[in-house]
Amino acid sequence: MNFKFQISNFKYAILPIILLLGITLHIKPVIAQMTPIQILEKADQARGNVEGIEWKIKLESVENGRKQFRGLRVKARDLNSLAEFLSPPKVKGRKLLMIDRNMWFVKPGLRKPVPISPRQKLMGGASNGDIASTNYAGDYKPASVSDDAVNGESCYLLDLRAVDKKVTYDRIKYWVSKKRLIGVRAEFFTVSGKMFKSAAFEYKNSITVKGKPQLFISKMVITDAIVKENITTMTYGKVKIKKIPDSTFNLNLLVR
């Protein structure tokens, strides 16, 4: 009887351990099951792909020794964004509208919006595609995912390929922090396979998405792959979640 009692007690004693192991083993696969697309979607939120948001950008660039400064206000909702130039006076009032993967340029005096092609998006240190909100999860397909590190931080390294010719870049190598799920570095490639430029990201802003705190980009430093001295710094400020009406992205209203 004592032997049976001991066996019974042993079973009850190890039961909590078995349950704990079961919970642990159950949790690990759930974390591991995060797909590359889910990783990109989370990283996209930190760069403007949310239901409604507005921010300002201070853009400083050095291109072939020439310095330029621009001030912009960006309104974004999901896949759509409107960037309006605020300064200096010579560019004030110019606008860039992106609806899904299509983009138009508008400036005072123009009677009709000017469509912008993917090749035109690449012009300048900070391309129009960089200024607009980000949709890597929809615009690119992960060809591979590997482990890497940036400045000692463990990252997913995603090799992204464009889903069609309407996106700004043919290929992007994108490092996403495993812990924070934000993009920390990117390398951009042309159709010929040559690296066009690289970018480093900082996240000192914060927003609330669906009741949860979310890091938001505060700085993007873009470096030309060939002329290393050509550097563009985009500083993001006055970030706020807000309702963006449909009229913001109405192409016909922009030229009135």
pLDDT in tens, 44-99: 999 998 989 999 999 999 988 999 999 999 999 988 999 999 999 999 999 999 88
Q: What is the DSSP letter of 230?
A: -
Q: Residue 184 belongs to what domain range?
A: 36-255
pLDDT in tens, 9-24: 433 343 333 333 333 3
Percent over 70 (pLDDT), the chain: 82
Is 31 part of a structural domain of the chain?
A: no
Q: Which residues does residue 103 pair with via DSSP β-bridges, in sequence order?
A: 98, 116
The answer to whether residue 114 is domain-embedded is: yes
Q: How far apart are CA 240 and CA 66, in angstroms?
A: 33
HSE-CB of 143 using CA atoms within 13 angstroms: 10
**φ and ψ of 100, to 5 deg:** 55, -115
Sequence-separated (6 or more) residues with CB below 8 Å from residue 50? 76, 77, 78, 207, 209, 241
- Give the mean model confidence (pLDDT) for residues 224-236: 93
Residue 143 lies in a domain: yes
> Would residue 22 count as lying in a domain?
no
What CATH number has the domain bearing residue 77? 2.50.20.10
User: What would the two tokens of residue 55 be?
Assistant: 């921010």
Q: For the chain, what is the domain count?
A: 1
182 within domain boundaries: yes
Give the pLDDT of residue 67.
94
In a domain, 4, yes or no: no
Q: What is the largest CA-CA distance in the chain?
A: 98
User: Is the residue at 15 inside a domain?
Assistant: no
Report the Cα 34 to chain-centroid distance in Å.
18
- Does 86 map to a domain? yes
pTM: 0.82
